[in-house]
Structure 1
Amino acid sequence: MSNAAILHEANEFVKKGKYENFLAYCTEDTRWVFVGEQILTGKEDVRQYMKEFYWEPPVFTVDTTVEEGNFVIVTGQITLKDKEGNYNQYDYCDVWQFENGKMAGVKAYVIEKKS
């Protein structure tokens, strides 16, 4: 299975709120960099992030997927519900790095859409 196919398969679990299933696709020391925001290191950091920010499963679309070697670049839109129940929309570009068929890290560029 290609790295892009692995990523898309893993993301189906996120859409269903099955975050532990998603995390099975990540390396133990996965590193997530949200450019200009924060850095998460390891599955436990990612797990806590999902508990804090995914009040309900995010709704997202993928516009573009590009795979080259151990990297998969994905662009699209994501909608997240915040603590107050408001829905916020973002454009994103994720650069995923893979190791041995698992997601070892991502550098995420996320920009909130303004009305």
Structure 2
Amino acid sequence: MIVTACRENLNDISRNKKTVLDYMDGFNAGDHQKILSCLTDDVVWEMPGVYYHSGKVAFDKEIENDAFEGKPTIKVIRMVEELDIVIAEGTVQGKRKGGGAFNAFFCDVFHMNNGKIKKLSSYLMFSRP
């Protein structure tokens, strides 16, 4: 569920921010097609020091990471936009395979191109149980 503050004025929201919200909604729904529709064909997704994926096929494989099960619950707390960069902060909760929940905070930097995500740099910090 997306924090309603981010959805309050959809008429006033930029195309780039709307794409980021649609992308997050796709993750919450487990909707691969919705997620992939927000991306350029040559998209790059990196978590510095953890992984680097290039292209929609690689991106799609990471959507449902083998280390986790079910759909995550992502809440966007704040978004900031400057030119073709959107930064989203929020929380994510999910379940690890074999049991155990996780709670994390994220800061995602979206590089946009014509209203689509061209590059995503994800920074994640897990909170203590």
| Same topology, TM > 0.5 | yes
Larger Rg: 2
CA distance in 2, matches of 1:64, 1:21: 21
**1:24-103 superposed matches below 5 A:** 24-53=37-66, 55-103=69-117
1:17 is aligned, of 16, 27, 30, to: 30
Identity %: 23
Moved over 6 A (4+): none
Q: Per-residue CA shift, 1:25-63, capped at 9, x if unaligned?
A: 101110011022111111111111123255211101111
> Relative to structure 2, which stretch is displaced further, 8-17 or 90-99?
8-17
C-alpha distance in structure 2 between counterparts of 1:60 and 1:96, whole Å: 16
Q: Matched residues in 2 for 1:6 and 1:49: separation?
A: 19
Consecutive unaligned residues in structure 1, runs of 5 or more:
none
Q: Distance in 2 between matches of 1:17 and 1:28?
A: 20
Q: Is the 8 A contact 2:24 2:74 kept in 1?
A: no
- TM-score under structure 1 normalisation? 0.92
- What RMSD in Å do the two structures reach over aligned CA positions? 1.4
Q: Mark the runs of 5 or more structure 2 residues left unpaired by the alignment.
A: 1-13
Q: Supply the AA of the counterpart residue of 2:70.
A: E
Q: Distance in 1 between matches of 2:37 and 2:122?
A: 20
Letter in 2 for 1:48: K
**Separation in 2 of the partners of 1:18 and 1:77?**
19
Distance in 1, Cα, partners of 2:96 & 2:77: 24
Number of aligned residue pairs: give it: 115
Q: For 1:23 and 1:13, locate their aligned partners in 2 and report how far apart those are by CA, in whole Å.
A: 9
Shift of 1:87: 1.4
Aligned AA (1:84): G
